[in-house]
Amino acid sequence: MTKEIGIRELKTRASELVRSVREQRTRYIITQRGKAAALLVPLDGEIRQADADAVWKRLESLREELGKGWQNDKHSVDLLSEMRR
């Protein structure tokens, strides 16, 4: 089972969570402002296909949600490139 945890809680409970991942094989989806940002899994652990599918499904739904509100003719990659110049 994969649990969700906010990045602030991760900061305050990092040692405890890493111990849980190592000893109990717990997995965490790290969220930032309520959205999935990272995955914390055992280093030698294999990501189960069901977990990977769930994460991708969530990322795709977030992409669709963000795309609905997009109000610029330029692609997001082009905008980011311009910002970095």
Q: What is the pLDDT along the chain (85 residues), one digit of tens a residue?
A: 689 999 999 999 999 999 999 899 899 999 998 899 999 988 876 667 777 788 889 889 988 888 787 777 787 788 788 888 6
pLDDT at 45: 66
Q: Collect all residues with Cβ–Cβ distance below 8 Å to 63 and sequence separation of at least 6.
A: none
Provide the pLDDT for residue 38: 92
Neighbours of 26 (CB within 10 A): 18
Would you put residue 54 in left (φ > 0), alpha (ψ -120 to 50) or beta? alpha
Q: Pick the closest to residue 20 from 41, 51, 37, 45 (CA basis).
A: 41
Are the C-beta atoms of residues 54 and 36 closer than 8 Å to each other? no
> Which residue segments constitute the domains of the chain, with CATH numbers given?
2-84 (3.40.1620.10)
